[in-house]
Amino acid sequence: MTKDQKKLAKYDEHMQGFSVANNSNIREGVAKERSVTDFFCLIVFAVFFAAMMGATLYGFKKGDVPRMMAPIDGRNQFCGQDAAVKDFPKLFLTDLSGTPSNIFSSGVCVKECPKSKNDQLSCVESSVYPYNAVQCNSNPSNIYDTHTMLGYCLPDIGSLERDYPSWVDDYKTAF
């Protein structure tokens, strides 16, 4: 008798004809006699859910939700919220190369996201962003096609691959 056969014989001896059909209340594929087994867990879950709903409602009532949801530019200003960028609610990333930190430090608050690379970029005057290559209210060379999502000007990947192929890998890594 091999080692596996010995294990199987020992298992058969231990089980002694056990079957789920004979040792459960399942009849015709359905458990006919059912009972509550996790009532305590249900109570804990209900208390947790109520507490989370309370915290959410409190946060919406007492918190500053628009500021919490606003994008932050390269100078740590909340687009559309802080005084210097009050009229500029969207974030445009002017340089999509390098690390995520470098990408987001190049962000400027704009009035509208450019739909194509030929669009005019309307953002805060360059004195607020002295480190950026973008010249606001002109046609800088690094504008790309975007679409707006939650206050961010996200690049159109197809046009980005066409116009700025060196940025694509860094952008995909960052996002």
pLDDT confidence of residue 44: 94
Averaged pLDDT, 24-51: 81
The CA distance from 159 to 94, in Å, is 15
pLDDT (tens digit, 9 = 90+) per residue, 54-71? 999 999 999 888 888 899
pLDDT at residue 22, rounded to an integer: 67
The confidence score (pLDDT) of residue 139 equals 47
Which pLDDT score, from 0 to 100, does residue 133 have? 45
Nearest to 115 by CA among 145, 159, 138: 145
The better pLDDT of the pair 100, 49 is held by 49
Question: What is the pLDDT averaged over residues 24-34?
Answer: 69
**CA–CA dist 171, 92 (Å, integer):** 13
Task: Record the tokens describing residue 10, joined without a space.
Answer: 């020992």
Mean pLDDT value across residues 2-22: 74
What are the tens digits of pLDDT across the range 73-131? 888 889 988 888 888 899 888 888 878 888 888 888 888 888 887 777 777 765 555 44
Please tell me the predicted confidence (pLDDT) of residue 53.
97
Q: Report if pTM > 0.85.
A: no
Express each pLDDT in 127-171 by its tens digit: 555 444 455 544 456 788 888 888 888 888 888 888 888 888 877
What sign does the dihedral 166-126-131-171 (CA atoms) show?
negative
Domain range annotation of the chain: 3-62, 70-174
DSSP string across 10-21: HHHHHHTT--TT
Taking alpha carbons only, the member of 79, 70, 96 closest to residue 155 is: 96
